Chain A
């Protein structure tokens, strides 16, 4: 009787690959995340993990719940059900509260959002007062270089941030997130409305950053997903449909929804 119960439990857990990996090489592990907002199920039973480095692309048609999923990961949405471990720790029991968790995760929103102050003040905005006032120049230079923005702003760090182009603003947002030395980077359609040049810059810097930390980039653009490579996670209608190696996914999608999406860029799961 007891054994039978155990077997059923294992069978139920098996498709979700619960704890299949060591915490050592896994930075983020989500299992069975679900979220309902205003009585509507937005996310249903999402399970995935991010390895300690490398690029991960979260792809899906618009309205799939990609942005909502990112917001759950850094507790901008808190009402979700399920289990979420980051760096091997349960996010609900994070030692220095949600604010500390959010400093560990760099989340870059789809719309570049800057504060109405200078470029330099924006970069250090998330830091404590002491760090803001005594930030060494070369640290600022480093994050700007990582975000592929240094050459364009090195002579105008004290200009208003709003004078930058949208593409530059998005890279400034990335630099600002990097300033907090996060352990991972989550980006919500970072290039959705940008010029091709800024898009190239951002894609290149994401690939470079992913050598040292996991980067999760949301996109609805199939071509961009192909360019970025790495690991792919395909979502549709609040469900995780398929995940795995990017090249394999584009060559041989397993699920009918994936094939449909790759063909038409839309899919009607619902």
Chain B
């Protein structure tokens, strides 16, 4: 009975994914038909001139996620190690509940905080015309994905058995050797899942990013210029879907953005669930 129920629900969720992808594909079909995969390489997005290049938004999405992870991975790992391995019990649970609180705050609130605090700070400190840019989006996202990385790392570290810890200590390994050669390698599968989930969240986050990214369709120029207003896939859909006529090419192009996002995030979460059978740990 339970078995049947589990199978049915697994089947249903699979079906939902397939139906959703099918719907996105169907709605964006006119767009793909019009120009094939060429728009993936073009940065020009001018709906009124029927130019719908996706490159600027794709690059923007990846930049924002990359900045977020570059900050959140070291910070999250350090916070998790600190709280599970160093801090005494009460502090540990305090830090953990703090992180869980952070994870529970609606993203629009983050967006507003970014708008009021982060943007003016960036603008005045970096002498910019506007603080709306990819760096702002990345910084904001790094705070939003930090709890995911930290909580998953904490859980993974807690799963390393006391036998392993005691054995490493009995061999006279110092604290840093135990951390780098026993704790982190053995916790790695869990940490990796946390990072991939965080990446998925960073790519998929809409509201907060939309409020701070600037929503200008320009490929960063030069490629590392993160201080100019830019666009992400999510912010484009969020901002423009209301003004596009159902069935128009504009609408179809936005659906194509949605399809891309769905494909990317599904791939990432599938990667997060694959755990290598052979946990190879020792990297000498």
Contacts and interface: CB of A to CB of B under 8 A. Distances in A.
A254 interface: no
Contact of B164 (A74, A101, A115): A115
Contacts of A99: 172-174
Contacts of A107: 170
Contacts of B181: 125
Contacts of A101: 172
Contacts of B171: 102-103, 125-126, 176-177, 180
Given A99-B174, A113-B163, A116-B186, A129 B169 contact: no
Interface residues of A, number: 29
B167 interface: yes
B279 A109 contact: no
A76 B170 CA distance: 8
B280 A180 contact: no
A149 B168 CA distance: 21
Nearest to B178: A99
Nearest to B279: A116
A100 B172 contact: yes
B170 A74 contact: yes
A125 B174 CA distance: 12
A101 B174 CA distance: 11
Contact of B167 (A71, A109, A116): A109
Interface in B162-216: 163-164, 166-174, 181-182, 186
A108 B167 CA distance: 8
A121 B172 contact: no
A106 B278 CA distance: 30
Size category, B interface: 20 to 34
Given A102-B172, A126-B173, A117 B281 contact: yes
B263 to A, nearest CB: 34
A133 interface: yes
B170 A102 contact: yes
Interface in A89-118: 99-103, 106-109, 111, 113, 115-118
Which of B170, B181, B282, B284 counts the most A-chain CB atoms under 10 A from its CB?
B170
A32 interface: no
Contact of A116 (B166, B173, B282, B284): B282
Nearest to B164: A113
Contacts of A109: 163, 166-167, 170
A173 B163 CA distance: 12
A113 B173 CA distance: 15
A129 B176 CA distance: 13
Contact of B282 (A76, A113, A115): A115
A116 B183 CA distance: 12
B139 to A, nearest CB: 36
A115 B166 contact: no
Interface in B14-30: none
A125 B279 CA distance: 17
A208 to B, nearest CB: 22
A199 interface: no
Interface in A139-164: 160
B163 A76 contact: no
Given A109-B167, A113-B164, A126 B282 contact: no
A121 B280 CA distance: 12
A36 to B, nearest CB: 19
A212 to B, nearest CB: 20
A129 B284 contact: yes
Contact of A115 (B170, B278, B281): B281
Contacts of B280: 116-117
Contacts of B174: 99
A126 B174 CA distance: 10
Contacts of A118: 282
A44 interface: no
Interface string B128-172: 000000000000000000000000000000000101101111111
Interface of B: 161, 163-164, 166-174, 181-182, 186, 278-282, 284
Interface of A: 71, 74, 76, 99-103, 106-109, 111, 113, 115-118, 121, 125-126, 129, 132-133, 160, 173, 176-177, 180
Given A76-B169, A108-B170, A133-B284, 5 more contacts: A109-B167, A113-B163, A121-B282, A126-B171, A180-B171
13 contacts: A99-B174, A102-B170, A103-B171, A108-B170, A109-B163, A113-B161, A115-B281, A116-B186, A116-B279, A118-B282, A160-B278, A173-B167, A177-B171
